[in-house]
Amino acid sequence: MSQPVENQSIQPKRWVYLLPLGIFVGLVILFFIGLELNPRLIPSPLIGKPAPSFSLPRLHHPGEIFQETDLQGEISLLNIWATWCPSCKQEHPVLMQIAKANKAPIYGLYYKDDPEYGVEWLKNNGNPYRANAVDKDGSVGIEWGTYGTPETFIIDEKGIIQYKHVGPISWQDWKDKLLPKIQSLREKSDV
Amino acid sequence: MTSRSIAFLFFFFFSCQVIAEIAGFPFETEAEEQRFRELSTELRCLVCQNQSLADSNAGLAQDLRVELYEQVLSGNSNKQIIDFMTNRYGDFILYKPRFTLKTLFLWLTPITLFIIGVVTLICFSRKQGEYSTEQVSDEELNKIRSLIDSEDNKK
């Protein structure tokens, strides 16, 4: 007699049956977002930290030293590159344009390459860099967390790393990402 | 199967990949070598992302192995070495993600889902158990018995 009432309490509410479907749909959405992410873009832990210290010979003047304090004083770019790196060569014309736009000086960290090749390459194709430091054995590259050249950092006037771009910069990247970052940093420092 | 072919299959399927890349790093003590081996398999090569530092022959992996080697030789602790790597390359260099606020979801989801599953299972089975044993009144039980008896009598 009391059976029908008991029976109802045993039946879970209807939405419970939809729960697995809901979880499944949620996971599918999560995985789709995951597929869109680029695993090569690893967030740098250096953002917001002072530029790692280094002291290296300059590419064009091997007798002179280039160090991280040379990056201070104005907002600048540090581009890590080599002549053995095809994407760096692909990026080179954009760096030339950026240098021409004259928004921020570009410094280079010449990574694990023979200085002769670099000098030759810049002589033949134009030199967008204000100065280059030669990191022949790649140890300074490790300090900067380099894993895939080219990499470009935006460093503010106090020498703090504010942004990192991995891979060749396209003109679109410059207009949409790097230049706005530089401008917002400049506004902040002007205030 | 002969014991020989069993042995063959065993070695075929359970052979480990020979870690050739860490050869050429001489150590004086067994402990140092052990530490070097462990760390180089725990750290990821960021160029070939599905390989550890020990497995990869990318240029960067070689450089980081040298770095690792020098740090092990100079007596840095595992924590110091791991901090050195993560300070430069981020947590991504670790194969095993650290337990932090950011990775809470990652670490706790499996165990949470497991607990939910077990609790649900227990609730459902308990309720069904109640239904089948306690809900049948004596009157009904007698009815069932007589039905069964009548079926048996037919045979």
pLDDT for B12: 65
Query: Considering CB atoms only, which of B49, B63, B90 is closest to A142?
Result: B63
Give the pair of three-digit tokens for residue B85.
């790597």
Average pLDDT, stretch A44-59? 93
A60 CB contacts (<8 Å, ≥6 apart)?
A: A119, A131, A132
Decide if B86 touches A, using CB distance below 8 A.
yes
For the stretch B54-83, pLDDT in tens is 888 888 888 999 999 999 999 899 999 999
Asked if pLDDT for residue A112 goes beyond 80, the answer is yes
Helix, strand, coil percentages in chain A from 3-state DSSP, rounded to 5: 45, 20, 35
- Among candidate residues B66, B93, B120, the one where a domain is terminated: B93
- Among candidate residues B72, B93, B114, the one where a domain is terminated: B93
CB contact under 8 A, A147 and B47: yes
**CA of B117: which chain A residue's CA is closest?**
A20
Measured between alpha carbons, how far is A164 from A166 in angstroms, rounded to an integer? 7
For the stretch A52-66, pLDDT in tens is 999 999 999 999 999
Decide if B64 touches A, using CB distance below 8 A.
yes
Show the domain range for B114: 104-154
Q: With pLDDT > 70 as the criterion, what percentage of chain B qualifies?
A: 86
Q: Give B23's pLDDT tier (boundaries 50, 70, 90).
A: low
Measured between alpha carbons, how far is A24 from B49 in angstroms, rounded to an integer? 28
CB contact under 8 A, A144 and B92: no
pLDDT for B135: 67
Instruction: Decide if A132 contacts A108 (C-beta within 8 A).
Output: yes
Instruction: Decide if A69 contacts A135 (C-beta within 8 A).
Output: no
SS3 state at A164: strand
pLDDT for B58: 85
Residue type, B77: S
Same domain, B46 and B72: yes
Same domain, B16 and B62: yes
Architecture of the structural domain at A55-190: 3-Layer(aba) Sandwich (3.40)
Query: Considering CB atoms only, which of B47, B64, B90 is closest to A45?
Result: B90
Where do the structural domains in chain A lie, given as residue ranges? 55-190
The minimum CA-CA distance between A190 and chain B, rounded to whole Å, is: 30
